[in-house]
Structure 1
Amino acid sequence: MPRALLLENIHPLATDILTEAGYDVENRRGALDEEELIEALDGVSLLGIRSKTQVSSEVLARSELDAVGAFCIGTNQIDLAAAAERGVAAFNAPFSNTRSVVELVLAEIIALSRRLTVQNSSLHKGVWNKSADGAHEVRGRTLGIVGYGNIGTQLSVVAEALGMSVIFYDTAEKLALGNAKRVGSLDDLLGQADVVTLHVDGRPGNAGMFGAAQFAAMRPGALFLNLSRGFLVDYDALRERILDRSLSGAAVDVFPTEPKSKGDSFDSALRGLDNVILTPHVGGSTEEAQHDIGIFVANKLRDYQATGATNLSVNLPGLVLEAPRPGAHRVTLLHRNVPGVMAQLNEDLSRSGANVEYQVLGTRGQFGYAVTDVGGGLSADLLSELEALPTTIRARVIEIG
């Protein structure tokens, strides 16, 4: 029975889906470090993680994985290039927790604008401090969104419904939704926004993108939020701006170093500051989001193994495949994207006596991925012949029941 390992408290529905597909599924609540993970992956073909477990090139080299599922949005915890080089497909959940993150952002903007954290703290200390000082409506204020992807665009629409004006900055060309306006640079956004919120991806080039210079460029009294990636921001610089009252508040959900498991100790330069909301990387942690993510990613892993489908893979050419004909053989070939591969594949198929009934090819940079359905018998040597080609990264023959 093939094995799957699910880490970091992934929703039970993922276990149900993979178990029904014939996998022996092991669940562990916390993350694993590199050596622990390598040991745990002995005999495992499918791995499911969230944001804490690092799937390094060493882990990939010392395991026999077929696919990795990130049960979250981000995939910077996976060495995607090394995974592709070893023919390991990687999938994530780019849409399933978008609404959960957007709602938390809006809740925090309102809480910070009304200084609810300060008022709440005073009452818990037994001090009645009713005052309108520093409290503002969000209606009419300008929200600056850095990164206009799935989360940024939905946040844009919902914030406008609250009466906010929205501006955004993105290095890629993006269509503005509603009345949102694109600005030409990050500095332009910082100089106009009453609230700045980060929603960029985890590519290495974004590391340290927001530091002392960016905080200095923000409007006096503005709010800052980061529910994106912890390594984007210099939190010591943010602390100074909160303490000198240059910024009136902040909300942070992600940190450069985070505990591996629930209940572990946590420390940050931002602890204990007035009007600063700290949350333990829970932007997408609603029951609804985790339910949807569990289904989405588990189905991607199952379908890749069962049919070779790579639609929405984050590291391999993405193919939406026709349903295979019962009784057919499906041959999948991940290869170097160079001339002559398809001709060689079809020559080998012909020599094996296969009748090609369906074939599709996708490319992504240096990689090509071909899927071929054949009728009739296949020679026992076909898979070995394909694996021996110098352009082959991984070949499979899937028997369709």
Structure 2
Amino acid sequence: MAKILVTDGMDKGAVEELKNKGFEVTEKFFEPEELGENLKSFDAVVVRSKTKVREPIIDKALEGGKLKLIIRGGVGVDNIDVQYAKSKGITVRNTPNASSASVAELAIGHMFAVSRFIHTANITMRDEKWEKKKYKGVEIAGKTLGLIGFGRIAKETAKKAEALGMKVLYNNRSGKVEGFDKYEYCTLEDILKKSDYVSLHIPFVKEKGAIIGEKELEIMKDGAFLINCARGGVVDEKALLDALNSGKLAGAAIDVFEKEPTENMELVRHPKVSVTPHIGASTVEAQKRIGTEIVSIITEFFK
């Protein structure tokens, strides 16, 4: 039966199900310089965001003549050289449906945090500081949320934001989406100009670089908030820091970074920033759904 390597962890129930189906499953993380060599003896590898599967790793793995399938447990596949893998006959799959609700909830949670100083007060209170007068926040009800990208996660975010009384605008690279007329389709520039909160829901494309940089931040409303629970690199972190320091933005919420683990402590420690360590899909429910999807993909592929 096929041998499966799980490098970044997976729901235990899903691992057991694979084993019960006869698959040989190894759960172990390998550093990049070791991964390719070890992949020589596996038919499939399951990764999350920590493991990067780049061209040299793929080439080394193929020396074993076994690797046929790479699965990303999550949505984005920018940590895998997808086209190169496909050109070598390796199938690349992800689990786009499983974590949508969890990431959307985190985006909304971050919006509350930066709007009501939850991120800051949670720290200062522990330092025995009662700074009530400092924390005059804003309500999100009645505000405008602009979504850049309108895939599964953005749609979930829109639904939750609407329920909270927000007006929702969206931009999508393929144009207006049928069946969502209750939300207003806008150009990227109009999203930036009109939104009190801008939330990113797009992949990182190395060739395009940051989608939100100095120019885009300048277009945004004075006192707006930027939310990024999508991918690191889609926001220029230096430009974001400048916008926060100048007062152009009232705050930002960040779950993903240009480099992970991030070394940008100036951004992490900024009083206007709510931060989390790439935990969008880190819920019990999402991990169970991801595990279920992975089992289905592997079972179907090797049947």
TM-score norm. by structure 1 comes to 0.71
Q: Write out aligned runs for 1:47-196 (5 A).
A: 47-63=45-61, 64-131=66-133, 134-173=136-175, 174-175=177-178, 177=180, 179-183=182-186, 185-196=187-198
Partner secondary structure for residue 76 of structure 1: coil
Question: Residue 22 of structure 1: CA displacement?
Answer: 1.9
Mapped contact 2:147–2:169 kept (Cα < 8 A): yes
Per the alignment, in what secondary structure is the counterpart of residue 231 of structure 1? Answer: coil
Q: Name the SS of the counterpart of 2:302 in structure 1.
A: helix
Q: Distance in 2 between matches of 1:290 and 1:49?
A: 13
Question: Contact (CA 8 Å) 1:143, 1:164: kept in 2 or not?
Answer: yes
Which of 277, 283, 286 is 2:283 aligned to?
Answer: 286
Q: Give the CA deviation at 1:84.
A: 1.7
Q: Secondary structure at the match of 1:190?
A: helix
**Take 1:60 and 1:129, find their aligned partners in 2: how far apart are those partners?**
54
Gaps of 5+ in 2: none
2:20 counterpart residue number: 20
Match of 1:10 in 2: 10
Match of 2:40? 42
- 1:21 alignment partner AA: K
Question: Is the strand fraction higher in 1 or 2?
Answer: 1
Q: In the TM superposition, what are the counterparts of 1:224-239 in structure 2 within 5 Å? A: 224-239=226-241
CA distance in 2, matches of 1:303, 1:191: 46
CA-based RMSD of the aligned residues comes to 1.8
Which structure has the highest helix share of the two? 2
* Number of residue equivalences: 298
1:228 aligned counterpart, secondary structure: coil
Deviation, 1:86, is 2.1
User: In the alignment, residue 31 of structure 2 is paired with which amino acid?
Assistant: L
Contact between 2:212 and 2:236, CA under 8 Å: does it hold in 1?
yes
Deviation at 1:56, TM superposition (A): 1.9
CA–CA separation in structure 2 for the residues paired with 1:151 and 1:100: 9
The answer (yes or no) to whether the contact 2:115–2:138 under 8 Å persists in 1 is yes
Question: Which runs of 5 or more residues in structure 1 are unaligned?
Answer: 260-264, 307-401
Question: Is the contact between residue 148 and residue 198 of structure 2 (CA under 8 Å) also seen in structure 1?
Answer: yes
Q: What residue in structure 2 maps to residue 301 of structure 1?
A: 298
In structure 1, distance between residues paired with 2:170 and 2:84: 33
The answer to whether the 8 Å contact 1:211/1:237 transfers is yes
Counterparts of 1:5 and 1:296, CA distance in 2: 16
54-63 or 95-104, which deviates more: 54-63
Distance in 2 between residues matched to 1:297 and 1:109, nearest whole Å: 31
Tell me if the contact between 2:204 and 2:232 (Cα under 8 Å) persists in the aligned partners: no
1:308-361, Cα deviation, whole Å (9 max, x unpaired): xxxxxxxxxxxxxxxxxxxxxxxxxxxxxxxxxxxxxxxxxxxxxxxxxxxxxx
Output the CA distance in 1 between the equivalents of 2:14 and 2:209: 32
Could you tell me which residue of structure 2 aligns to residue 242 of structure 1? 244
Matched to 1:82, the amino acid is: Y
Larger CA deviation: 121-130 vs 74-83? 121-130
Write the deviation string for residues 259-294 of structure 1: whole angstroms up to 9, x where unpaired.
3xxxxx854330221131111100111011011101
| Cα displacement (A) at 1:100 | 0.3
Residue of structure 1 equivalent to 2:31? 32
How far apart are the structure 1 equivalents of 2:14 and 2:22?
13
Matched, 1:216 2:239: no
Task: Name 2:274's counterpart in structure 1.
Answer: 277
CA distance in 2 between partners of 1:267 and 1:40 (Å): 32
Q: Which amino acid aligns with 1:44?
A: F
TM-score by length of structure 2 reads 0.92
Q: What per-residue deviation string (whole Å, max 9, x for no partner) do you get for residues 168-212 of structure 1?
A: 1111122362621001x2111111000011000233344211111
